[in-house]
C-alpha cells in the first residue's frame, strides 16, 4: 500500500483520486497527528455492503455454502 505525507497528498490530490479509482489500491496519507486512508468510492461502497451482509445472522455461512455449490446443482427457477 502506497504511503504519502499530507503535504505530498495535498499537491497530488486529483491524481491520487484517479489512481485509487483505477487501481483499487488504497493510499495511506500520514499526518503529524493522525493518518488516513484514501479509497475509491466504489471500494468503500463494496466494503460497506460486505459488512452489512455479514452483520445479518447466518448470512456469511449462507454465502459460503452458495459459493461452494456447483452451478449445475443450483435451482434454475426461484420459488418465490
On whether residue 32 sits in a domain, the answer given is yes
Question: Do 26 and 50 fall into the same domain?
Answer: no
Separation between Cα atoms, residue 4 and residue 12, nearest integer Å:
10
Question: What is the pTM for the complete model shown?
Answer: 0.72
Torsion on CA atoms 20, 25, 27, 28, rounded to nearest 10: 150
On whether residue 75 sits in a domain, the answer given is no
Q: pLDDT tens-digit profile of 19-67?
A: 999 999 999 999 999 999 999 999 999 999 999 988 999 998 888 998 9
Question: Do 22 and 48 fall into the same domain?
Answer: no
Other CB atoms within a 10 A radius of the CB of residue 29 amount to 21
Question: Do 54 and 27 fall into the same domain?
Answer: no
**3-class DSSP state for residue 7?**
helix
- Please give the biggest Cα pair distance in the chain: 57
Full residue range of the structural domain in which residue 56 is found: 42-66
State the CATH number of the domain containing residue 21.
3.40.1620.10
Domain count, the chain: 2
Phi, psi values for residue 39, rounded to 5°:
-125, 155
Amino acid at each position: 500500500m502506497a504511503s504519502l505525507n499530507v503535504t505530498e497528498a495535498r499537491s497530488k490530490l486529483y491524481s491520487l483520486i484517479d489512481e485509487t479509482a483505477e487501481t483499487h489500491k488504497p493510499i495511506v496519507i500520514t499526518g503529524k497527528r493522525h493518518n488516513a486512508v484514501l479509497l475509491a468510492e466504489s471500494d468503500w461502497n463494496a466494503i460497506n455492503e460486505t459488512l452489512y451482509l455479514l452483520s445479518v445472522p447466518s448470512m456469511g455461512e449462507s454465502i459460503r455454502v452458495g459459493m461452494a455449490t456447483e452451478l449445475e446443482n443450483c435451482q434454475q427457477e426461484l420459488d418465490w
